[in-house]
Amino acid sequence: MPPKPKYTRNEVAIAAFNIIKKDGLSALTARELGKSLGTSVSPIFTTFKNMEEVKMAARELAMTEFREYISDYINYTPAFKRIGVMIVSYGIKQPELFKLLFMQEHSQKEQFKGTLDDLGDILDVCINLIMKDYDMTKEEAEFLFEQLWIQAYGLGVMCAMKVCSFAEEEIGMRLGNVFASLAMFIKSGKANEVYAFADKRQDRIFQGRSVTDIPYKID
Q: For a pLDDT cut of 70, what percent of the chain falls above it?
A: 84
Check residue 40 and give its pLDDT: 86
Check residue 107 and give its pLDDT: 74
The torsion region of residue 143 among left (phi > 0), alpha (psi -120 to 50) and beta comes to alpha
Residue 171 DSSP symbol = H
Strand spans (E) along the chain: 198-200, 205-208, 216-217
Mean pLDDT, to the nearest integer, of 67-78?
91
Span 9-52, pLDDT tens digits: 999 999 999 999 999 999 999 999 999 999 888 888 888 999 99
Candidates 111, 98, 196, 106; CA nearest to 154 is 98
Read off φ and ψ for residue 207, nearest 5 degrees.
Answer: -110, 125
For the cut 70, the answer to whether the pLDDT of residue 176 exceeds it is yes
Mean pLDDT, to the nearest integer, of 60-89?
92
Indicate the pLDDT class of residue 215, thresholds 50, 70 and 90. Answer: very low
CATH class, range 1-64: mainly alpha
Residue 48 DSSP symbol = -
Distances (CA, A) of 124 to 141, 142, 159, 172, 199: 10, 9, 25, 21, 37
For the cut 80, the answer to whether the pLDDT of residue 179 exceeds it is yes
For 177-210, b/e burial (b = at least 16 CB within 10 A) is ebbeebbeebeeeeeeeeeeeeeeeeeeeeebee
Could you give the count of Cα atoms lying within 13 Å of 115 in the half-sphere of its Cβ? 15
Distance CA 170, CA 193 (A): 31
The torsion region of residue 194 among left (phi > 0), alpha (psi -120 to 50) and beta comes to beta
Span 76-89, pLDDT tens digits: 888 888 999 999 99
Name the average pLDDT for the chain.
86
Span 116-143, pLDDT tens digits: 888 888 999 999 999 998 999 999 999 9
107 or 23, which is more confident?
23
- Residue ranges of the domains in the chain? 1-64, 76-214
10 Å Cβ neighbour count for 137?
11
Sheet with 216-217, edge to edge strand ranges: 198-200, 205-208, 216-217
Indicate the pLDDT class of residue 187, thresholds 50, 70 and 90. Answer: confident
Instruction: Give the dihedral sign, CA 179/185/188/189.
Output: negative
94 or 114, which is more confident?
94
Check residue 218 and give its pLDDT: 39
